[in-house]
């Protein structure tokens, strides 16, 4: 079992989970959902870009194209993510 919909009696006294545990689980669930969405978008975009005529298998050029596309996509995602996090930290420091 993944632990997200599991028995609530596992945490805290009296069979209730504390809010910190619940918040942590929500954060994990959001991170997993975000990763799944990124993977789905990347797969869709790279497949459309690299595979002209779908068949039973990918030829060498399609495999290389997909690998390079996915690398570029992840590099771009990481760059944007770092810039966004940096900006958030600067904004939080101003408050």
In three-state secondary structure terms, 12 is coil
Instruction: Evaluate whether 19 touches 13 at the Cβ level (below 8 Å).
Output: no
Neighbouring residues of 9: CB distance < 8 A, sequence distance ≥ 6: 15
For each of the chain's 95 residues, which pLDDT tens digit applies? Answer: 455 554 444 444 555 779 989 999 999 999 999 999 999 999 999 999 999 888 899 999 999 999 999 999 999 999 999 999 999 999 999 88
Cα angle, residue 18 at apex, residues 16 and 23 outer, rounded to 5°: 125
pTM for this entry: 0.65
Q: Give, to the nearest 10 degrees, the angle between helix 19-50 and helix 60-94.
A: 140
Q: Which domains does the chain have, with CATH numbers?
A: 9-94 (1.10.287.810)
């Amino acid at each position: 079992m993944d632990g997200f919909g599991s028995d609530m009696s596992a945490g805290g006294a009296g069979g209730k989970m504390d809010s910190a545990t619940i918040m942590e689980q929500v954060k994990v669930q959001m991170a997993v959902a975000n990763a799944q969405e990124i993977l789905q978008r990347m797969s869709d975009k790279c497949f459309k870009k690299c595979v002209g005529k779908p068949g039973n298998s990918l030829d060498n050029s399609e495999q290389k194209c997909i690998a390079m596309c996915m690398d570029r996509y992840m590099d771009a995602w990481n760059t944007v993510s770092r810039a966004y996090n940096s900006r958030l930290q600067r904004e939080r420091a101003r408050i």
